[in-house]
Amino acid sequence: MATVGHYIFLHVTIRISIMLPTTAQELDQTSHIKRCCHKMSKYKGATVSRCTQNVYFKILNGGLIGIVAGGCDGEFNMDVRLAQLLDFIVNTTASRQYYIVYDDQGIARNVDLNMLMAIPFGSLGDTSIYEYESSNTLMEETIKSYYHTVEMRNFILLTGKENTLELFEHIRTNHLESPSCHWYLILEEDFSQDVLDVLNEGTQVSFLREDEDQFRLSHTYVNIDNIMSQNNVGVWSWRADRSTPHWFLSSPLAPNLREVYKDFGGRTVINCVLDNWPFFDVDFMSDVGDTLTDRDPQPAGGIDVGVLSSMAKTLNFSYTIIIAEDGQWGGVQSDGSITGMIGRVARHEADFAINEITITGHQRSQKIFFLKYYRRSKFLTLRENGPTHPLTSFNISFTQVWLTLFVSWLVIGPVLGFLTYLRRQFTDDIPKDWVLGKFTFNMFRSLVIFQGNQLEHESWMYRWIFVSWYFFTFIFFVLYSGTLTAVLAIPSFEKPIDSLWDLLEAVKNDGYFPITTFGTSNEFIFKVMMLKAFMTKLEATFGIYKDIWDVFDPSVGYVYTWDEGVERVLEGKYTYLNAQLGALIRANKRGMYQYHFAKEPFYPQSYAIACRQGSPYKDVFNRLLMELVGAGLIDKWTNDEIDKVRTSDQASNTGPAAMTIEHLQAAFFVLIIGVVVAAIILLVE
């Protein structure tokens, strides 16, 4: 209980000392607050402090210095200087989360660790102390953790050259760069250039290099040649005969990244793309006289070229482009490798990628961060349903009408013939030429040609039959001819496919085939569903997505470019599962009237810039992208690309048209067939 009591008392004492004003008078060196110190024990590599033995504390001017300066028998030594230097870091950064890392080789080797252990419990706020371990397991977990309570985490390294370089090599190899981490290196020996040689952009480091009785202060930056360099920003000096250190800063020791990357200083950055108009059109040829020669790829136009060029102008950078050799957008593979444009960014071969990049589960990686800037949906694209065929009058939609009419004509002749036979049994007033053939032809003549009756008789039996038949033919003639005119003059269309459920029915009943681009997010969303709440990938085992994938035929369902997919739908009963914008522009290029876009989108998606997870400029990019979207510039660039390719015959079938010979060609076909058959009969006779 005594140990616990001492521990609690120490905490209270230290926090009270921090709250004292910095102008407080120095207390007598014999004034002892409490005798207590710390030893270190480890839990999963972390250092935990415990009160075990007596030590003296005194307060010089309050705060951190007062905590650490005690226990040195009235001498100002390295403990005091380090305490003042740490106090300077804390006061100039105004951060509240620190991790102190030490070893037996660095500047902390001559410092009483009992004094060092007292540091975290003061104004530093949330602080942890680690003894350096070569595996860096705990350090890596700390960097990757999402549970830090403040925006910036600060690592103060009191380590020697060997361990420091090993630590930053580990960060580089495992892609642990983070804009929310800042590193302070307190160096007795100046090996800052060795550190710069192993850094990637995204690791923010401030150097405090000892030089006699002062420390020279600098921080890292990327120069115009894209080389990690350091910028000298000031000096911190201390002498034992002074009560306070002296320091000078021309700029912050830990600069604000949002301010730094508002101006790239004319740097040239690398963007990885594919030749993918209308988003990023790439030109591989150069005019030399009257010939074309190969050259490095150059942007030739497109929506994303407009986005990137606007960003370059605003942030003062230029850019070059490189091509993904495998021709893929890319994603994480089962072996952990990353392909395509995304892979080149993850391997630091490019600074970022922008080229119709959509965000799906198989692209997500701890190495890549996506900056969304444009939201669209995926749509079904298929051939425009044609107007009713000129032979519609004989088509299945009129089957019942034609069948009923034909049966009526076949029946009416035998009925008249049978009634005439019965009447002849009782009377002789019926002409002898009134036979079955004449009855049938007369009724057919009245029906088709709509001419008067040639069979006259005083019998009411015949009169009622003829009158009813004439009314029947009149109604049929008027209604059918009017309906046929309306149908042919204003063409009707086949039932469109406007949803995934319509597509499923069309595949099962009408012989349609769904097609999609191989290796893209369009394929991915049908193969794998993702629970967004947990970012967990699951097989699509239920619902319409699974039903569509079950009827998907890989032998005919894959295309390998967007253009191939848009062209395939014109060749037959194919439905292209594709992003709305890409399909819309390509359809406009070929003639929008040839295509039908489903009314119901089936998957919302966002276009994004892919940059490395630790990119220090991602916040600046994100803010600028939102400004471009809010200003309507991306919509403008999209419409510009559509206008470039929109054809002039968009409205060829968009409204009513007068009847032409094409609409009535079915009648001529019947007449021609009849003449041909008559000619054949004549030859036979």
- Cis status, amide bond into 255, omega within 30 of 0: no
- The predicted pLDDT at position 54 comes to 28
Enumerate residues 6+ apart whose C-beta is below 8 A from 239.
213
User: H-helix or E-strand containing 514?
Assistant: strand 513-517
Q: Are 598 and 498 in contact (CB under 8 A)?
A: yes
User: What is residue 455's predicted lDDT score, i.e. its pLDDT?
Assistant: 63
Nearest to 11 by CA among 108, 83, 117: 117
Q: What is the residue type of 477?
A: F
**What length is written for the chain?**
685
- Cα–Cα distances in angstroms (integers) from residue 31 to residues 19, 35, 51, 60, in the given order: 18, 11, 20, 11
Per DSSP bridges, beta strands 595-597 and 368-383 are antiparallel
Q: What is the dihedral of CA 372, 220, 311, 319, to 10 degrees?
A: -110
Distance CA 109, CA 160 (A): 9
Cβ atoms 64, 212 nearer than 8 A:
no
CA dihedral 385, 387, 388, 391 (to 10 degrees): -110
CA quadruple 325, 326, 329, 330: dihedral, nearest 10: -110
What pLDDT is attached to residue 166?
92
Q: How crowded is the C-beta side of 630, counted as CA atoms within 13 Å?
A: 6
Region of 197 on the Ramachandran plot (φ > 0 left; ψ -120 to 50 alpha; else beta): alpha
Q: In angstroms, rounded to a whole number, what is the distance separating the alpha carbons of residues 437 and 168? A: 105
3-state SS, 122-141, equals CCCCEEEEEECCCCCHHHHH
Q: What is the pLDDT of residue 73?
A: 40
Is residue 263 classed as helix, strand or coil in its secondary structure? Answer: coil
H or E segment and range at residue 549: helix 543-550
Q: In 356-450, which ranges are continuous DSSP H helix? A: 399-424, 436-448
C-alpha span between 208 and 186 (Å, rounded) = 5
Nearest to 1 by CA among 51, 60, 58, 47: 51
* 3-state helix, strand and coil shares in percent for the chain, rounded to the nearest 5: 40, 25, 35
Residue 391: the pLDDT is 52
Q: Which of 182, 168, 95, 99 is nearest to 138 (CA)?
A: 99
Per-residue model confidence (pLDDT) at position 21? 33
**Alpha-carbon torsion, ordered 517, 520, 526, 527, to 10 deg:** 110
- Quote the pLDDT of residue 90: 82
Residue by residue, DSSP assigns 202-213 as: T-EEEEEEEETT
Using CA atoms, how far apart are residues 107 and 186, in angstroms rounded to an integer?
A: 7
CA 617-622-626 angle, to 5 degrees, is: 150
Taking alpha carbons only, the member of 356, 364, 330 closest to residue 344 is 330
* Spatial separation of the C-alpha atoms in residues 84 and 63, rounded to whole Å: 10
Q: What is the pLDDT of residue 87?
A: 81
Secondary structure (H, E, C), 292-351: EEEEEEEEEECHHHHHHHHHHHHHCCEEEEEECCCCCCCCECCCCCECHHHHHHHCCCCC
CA dihedral 635, 641, 645, 651 (to 10 degrees): 0
**Tokens matching residue 653:** 């079938």
Over the chain (685 residues), the average pLDDT of each successive run of 10 is 35 31 30 30 35 28 38 50 83 79 83 58 63 78 66 87 92 86 91 93 93 90 92 86 80 90 93 86 65 69 89 94 85 79 88 80 55 58 57 52 71 72 68 64 63 61 69 69 64 71 87 84 65 40 74 87 85 83 78 80 77 86 88 85 67 51 57 65 63
Give the C-alpha separation, 5 to 476, whole Å.
108
Helices 436-448 and 460-489: crossing angle in degrees, nearest 10, is 40
